[in-house]
Amino acid sequence: MRKIIVVPLLILLPFLAISQDSLDALLDQYNNESIPYISVKELSEIQSEVILLDAREINEYNTSHLQNAIYVGYDHFDINTVSNQNVNKKSKIVVYCSLGIRSEDISEKLKKVGYQNVYNLYGGIFEWKNANNKVIDSLGKETDKIHAFSKQWGKWLHKGKKVYTQ
């Protein structure tokens, strides 16, 4: 009887460890930290001095995004989207997504083609909104809506109104 209980527990233990209790653990699981993070607090102090790139999909961006962010996407990211904006390769660039996972991938692509001053927003737009910072919709109006990407990732958004489709 004891083996019947212990064996399933031993099998389930690694899976239980995968369920993340902290944002640090989640980002450690998916990111290799090849791109330095910038905190929400740091970005809020210099937002007007950086180029902001949104590495989410268009429906997420249209729901809400950081003011002055340029949509670059993820699944169909094209480096020419950035090049066509005449972004200087020495400019300070902050890339964000929902939590900071997709944005690291896009940031790595930027570094690979010579952008030198690239940062990944720690916790993405979710942490931005969790800190009560402003987001705008596709019309440029302030909104409380945040595209939460999925129920799994949406648990990290604590403020604002979660949107899953649009």
What string of H, E and C letters represents the secondary structure of 82-104? HHCCCCCCCCEEEEECCCCCHHH
| Mean pLDDT along residues 147-159 | 94
Residue in 97, 106, 125, 146 annotated catalytic: 97
| Mean pLDDT along residues 115-127 | 98
How far is 69 from 61, CA to CA, in rounded Å? Answer: 9
Write down the pTM of the prediction. Answer: 0.86
Residue 131 clears pLDDT 50, i.e. is over it:
yes
Single-letter amino acid code for the residue at 49: E
Name the band, by pLDDT with cuts 50, 70 and 90, for residue 22. very high
Active-site residue 97, yes or no?
yes
CATH fold label, 20-163: Oxidized Rhodanese; domain 1 (3.40.250)
SS3 (DSSP) at 11: helix
How far is 43 from 159, CA to CA, in rounded Å? Answer: 18
How far is 18 from 42, CA to CA, in rounded Å? Answer: 30
Give the bridge partners for 71, in sequence order.
Answer: 54
Specify the pLDDT at position 19. Answer: 53
User: CA 126 from chain center: how many Å?
Assistant: 7
- Range name among 56-60, 86-90, 108-112 with the lowest pLDDT average: 86-90
How far is 33 from 14, CA to CA, in rounded Å? Answer: 23
- Range name among 84-88, 124-128, 135-139 with the lowest pLDDT average: 84-88
